[in-house]
């Protein structure tokens, strides 16, 4: 059963965690939404899947966001207690290091399990699902914004298009008219008009490029005001639409999209680096929690921002060393794994050493032995 002190400390740390997670989530959401919107504007992502893709990418990012949120939340929660001298009062009342470590672990261990689930399972599933969703949507002209009976701009600014009819899934068109402006060899503005009886959407599984394959049509090319127009009759003609991201073709799956079990069956450096990074996420949650305990301690008149700056620098050094280790594994060097796990062990030892040193028994000055 939890003691009153445990419940109080857990509540304070949880408030800091929620505030930090909300702030980091807003920043991550803004960056993700901006990136997805730019791809939608360029025609690389269909607008119909924009919000599901944003949600799935946020879920994938939680394995990196939550450890940092816990680190900052513990710093903010304990800093408030130190600033209001509550921690000093509790220490003078007999609260020892175990009394602080217990509620911190009660909050941190469930977070570690949650980050492990996201890193090893939910994150790869979200990445694969979002790419599959984009790939399926890119096979349909409905997702590209084309509607029956009205002129619509092609994705990527490739011209204007009119269709008289299409099937329910938007993969087969009837009565097609396409108009595009371009410049000829002499630099004169040229008009390219295409009519076709029907057409189909095609997605290249290798490059991810989208094509509209037109059948049984005519093509008119010329400069307005001149009579030397070209007329071409065709049985099949491809129109290139905006190219989508690599890996959205459906047949190519990136390393990050592979399941954890699939990574274990692939001994290549990319798979080993991805697997090491996924295992690092839950371990980092616990390591950063332990590191935040000694870094949050401050005197009654000590500035909080100085401690916060030290904590941020410590996190940057820690995260960069892990990134270097991942890059070394990716390059095929065994030293990368040694570096990544060596950093974890060293940080745990440093955090516990500082924590024990701060709570060591001090002798009064001038006291006799």
Please tell me the distance from the alpha carbon of residue 232 to that of residue 227, in angstroms, as a whole number.
Answer: 15
Burial class (CB in 10 A: 0-12, 13-18, 19+), 316: exposed
The residue with tokens 């939910």 is 122
Q: What is the mean pLDDT of residues 248-268?
A: 77
**For the chain, which residues make up each domain, given as ranges?**
4-138+253-358, 152-240
Q: Where are the beta strands (DSSP E) in the chain?
A: 152-153, 160-166, 172-183, 189-203, 210-222, 230-240
Helix 269-295 × helix 97-117 angle, to 10° = 150
What pLDDT was estimated at residue 67? 96
Please tell me the distance from the alpha carbon of residue 103 to that of residue 21, in angstroms, as a whole number.
Answer: 19
Select the more confidently predicted residue: 234 or 360: 234
Instruction: Read off the pLDDT of residues 85-129 as tens digits, 9 standing for 90 and up.
Output: 788 788 777 777 778 889 999 999 999 999 999 999 999 999 999
Q: What is the mean pLDDT of residues 252-264?
A: 85
pLDDT band at 204 (very low <50, low <70, confident <90, very high): low
Q: Where are the beta strands (DSSP E) in 39-159?
A: 152-153
Phi and psi, residue 31, nearest 5° = -65, -40
pLDDT band at 274 (very low <50, low <70, confident <90, very high): very high
CB atoms inside a 10 Å sphere around CB 322: 23
């Amino acid at each position: 059963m939890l003691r009153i002190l445990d419940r109080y400390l857990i509540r304070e740390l949880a408030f800091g965690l929620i505030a930090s997670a909300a702030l980091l989530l807003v920043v991550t959401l803004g960056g993700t939404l901006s990136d997805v919107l730019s791809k939608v504007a360029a025609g690389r992502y269909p607008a119909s899947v924009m919000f599901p893709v944003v949600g799935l990418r946020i879920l994938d990012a939680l394995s990196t966001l939550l450890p940092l949120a816990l680190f900052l939340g513990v710093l903010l929660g304990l800093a408030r207690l130190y600033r209001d001298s509550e921690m000093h009062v509790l220490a003078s009342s007999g609260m020892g290091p175990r009394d602080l470590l217990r509620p911190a672990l009660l909050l941190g261990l469930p977070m570690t399990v949650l980050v492990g689930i996201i890193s090893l399972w939910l994150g790869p599933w979200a990445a694969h699902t979002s790419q599959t969703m984009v790939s399926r949507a890119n096979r349909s002209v409905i997702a590209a914004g084309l509607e029956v009976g009205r002129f619509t701009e092609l994705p990527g600014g490739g011209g204007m298009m009119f269709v008289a009819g299409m099937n329910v899934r938007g993969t087969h068109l009837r009565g097609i008219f396409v108009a595009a402006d371009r410049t000829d060899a002499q630099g004169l503005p040229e008009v390219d008009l295409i009519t076709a009886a029907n057409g189909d959407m095609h997605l290249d599984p290798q490059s991810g490029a989208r094509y509209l394959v037109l059948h049984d049509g005519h093509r008119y090319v010329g400069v307005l005001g001149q009579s030397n127009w070209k007329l071409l009759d065709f049985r099949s003609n491809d129109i290139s639409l905006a190219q989508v991201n690599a890996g959205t073709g459906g047949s190519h799956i990136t390393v990050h999209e592979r399941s954890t079990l699939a990574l274990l069956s692939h001994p290549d450096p990319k798979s080993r680096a991805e697997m090491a990074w996924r295992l690092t996420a839950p371990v980092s949650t616990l390591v950063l929690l332990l590191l935040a305990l000694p870094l949050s301690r401050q005197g009654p008149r000590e500035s909080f921002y100085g401690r916060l700056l030290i904590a941020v620098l410590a996190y940057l050094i820690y995260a960069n060393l892990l990134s270097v280790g991942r890059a070394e594994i990716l390059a095929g060097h065994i030293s990368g794994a040694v570096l990544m796990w060596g950093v974890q062990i060293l940080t745990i030892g440093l955090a516990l050493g500082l924590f024990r040193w701060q709570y060591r028994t001090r002798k009064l000055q001038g006291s006799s032995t």
